[in-house]
């Protein structure tokens, strides 16, 4: 069901409660190391400013579990947003209460107020109706531009829209539109490239994609669970023993559906996962018993690249190897470059590690869309209903 867009919501001269996801990575020194999630919300904020709205920003950082943690205060986030907009931001030290009520009451059109980390309140994670009403009382309308938290039934995400007219911001709307296209009307051939450590994290995703794609390409640590399920020796490589049967079921399901499930045919192995450790490429039939698989090999890269080149729709989530070690990141880098080179395809990537590799290579423009969501991206592709999207008013 289509959701109402911020363009279809009357925001002119209104107080707008804007839910964003500014859960950005921060260095040990407290500096923001990647402001992508902030930058992606700027079109919505600028649109609201053009309409003389008073903007009250609700967001979170980290997992403080209902406690005030000084390092997770949002001052640094407010400063970065202010710098990007070239406009002052009033950062408050509370989420609700007299300080907040007074600041919002005294705000003028064009002002931006940022509330403190909403996860400092335990009620944020409990679906508190009282907190939802307190936040709703601050505004005339609600705009959600936080796709990365759309899979959470948090109070500020799914509760507040019950009490205010609501709409999706431009970022959330773009995420919905792209993923809806991918899951309902993808142009064939349609392939999915999945990596990362664990099969257990992606069982639902794989099964849902088997019904939609022409091929699923599997790399990363999760590939070794599939390889062991097929009877290969995998040495000390990461294997989820409890999921060998599931992996076998998935391979059988792929076969019965006629969906090709491609696993590595060669891998990079090492005796120790550290910088400078000796490593070599071996066929999957020849993985030594005392070695660990840490990346896909050149023959696998060639086969996966050939699939990418002929695809018209591509989804990618998860690295092909241990990308923290440069020597074991070659497979992941090759996927990023190959996907970016297919300019005729609809290409969508999601997940923090995947996005960081794309950014490091400077190939962002080669992708149709790089999702700001991790868990939300995966759950949407699994076919799950996301509370943050379901709560938004439907389009007229």
Q: Which positions are annotated as active-site residues?
A: 37, 198, 352, 375
Which residue, among 290, 230, 236, 238, has the nearest Cα to 263 in the 3D structure?
230
Largest CA distance in the chain: 71
Which residue, among 378, 382, 350, 380, has the nearest Cα to 204 in the 3D structure?
382
Q: Whole-angstrom distance between the N-terminal and C-terminal Cα of the chain? A: 11
Q: In what order do the strands lie in the sheet with 266-270?
A: 279-283, 266-270, 292-296
Which residues does 175 contact at the CB level (< 8 Å), separation at least 6? 147, 150, 369, 371, 372, 373, 376
Which residue, among 156, 150, 216, 228, has the nearest Cα to 189 in the 3D structure?
216
The dihedral formed by the CA atoms of 379, 262, 361 and 78, expressed in degrees to the nearest 10: 10
């Amino acid at each position: 069901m289509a959701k109402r867009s911020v363009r279809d919501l009357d925001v002119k001269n209104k107080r707008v409660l804007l839910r964003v996801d500014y859960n950005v990575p921060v260095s040990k020194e407290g500096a923001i190391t990647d402001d992508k999630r902030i930058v992606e919300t700027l079109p919505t904020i600028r649109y609201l400013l053009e309409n003389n709205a008073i903007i009250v920003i609700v967001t979170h950082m980290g997992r403080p579990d209902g406690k005030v943690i000084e390092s997770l205060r949002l001052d640094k986030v407010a400063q970065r947003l202010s710098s990007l907009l070239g406009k002052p931001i009033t950062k408050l030290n509370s989420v609700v209460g007299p300080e907040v009520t007074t600041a919002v009451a005294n705000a003028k059109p064009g002002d931006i107020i940022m509330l403190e980390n909403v996860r400092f309140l335990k009620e944020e994670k409990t679906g508190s109706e009282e907190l939802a009403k307190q936040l709703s009382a601050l505004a005339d309308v609600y705009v959600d531009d936080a796709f990365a938290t759309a899979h959470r039934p948090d109070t500020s995400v799914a509760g507040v829209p019950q009490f205010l007219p609501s709409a999706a911001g431009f970022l959330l709307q773009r995420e919905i539109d792209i993923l809806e296209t991918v899951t309902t009307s993808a142009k064939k051939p349609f392939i999915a490239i999945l990596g990362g450590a664990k099969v257990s994290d992606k069982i639902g995703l794989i099964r849902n994609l088997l019904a939609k794609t022409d091929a699923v390409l599997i790399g990363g640590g999760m590939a070794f669970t599939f390889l062991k399920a097929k009877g290969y020796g995998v040495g000390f490589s990461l294997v989820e023993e409890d999921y060998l049967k599931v992996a076998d079921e998935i391979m059988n399901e792929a076969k019965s559906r006629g969906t090709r499930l491609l696993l590595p045919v060669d891998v990079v192995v090492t005796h120790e996962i550290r910088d400078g450790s000796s490593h070599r490429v071996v066929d999957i039939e020849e993985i030594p018993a005392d070695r660990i698989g840490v990346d896909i090999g050149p023959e696998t890269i060639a086969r996966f690249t050939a699939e990418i080149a002929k695809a018209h729709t591509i989804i990618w989530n998860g690295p092909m190897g241990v990308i923290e070690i440069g020597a074991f990141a070659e497979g992941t880098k090759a996927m990023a470059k190959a996907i970016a080179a297919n300019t005729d395809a609809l290409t969508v990537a999601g997940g923090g590690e995947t996005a960081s590799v794309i950014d490091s290579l400077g190939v962002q423009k080669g992708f149709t869309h790089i999702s700001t969501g991790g868990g939300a991206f995966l759950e949407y592709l699994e076919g799950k209903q996301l509370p943050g999207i379901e709560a938004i008013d439907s389009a007229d």
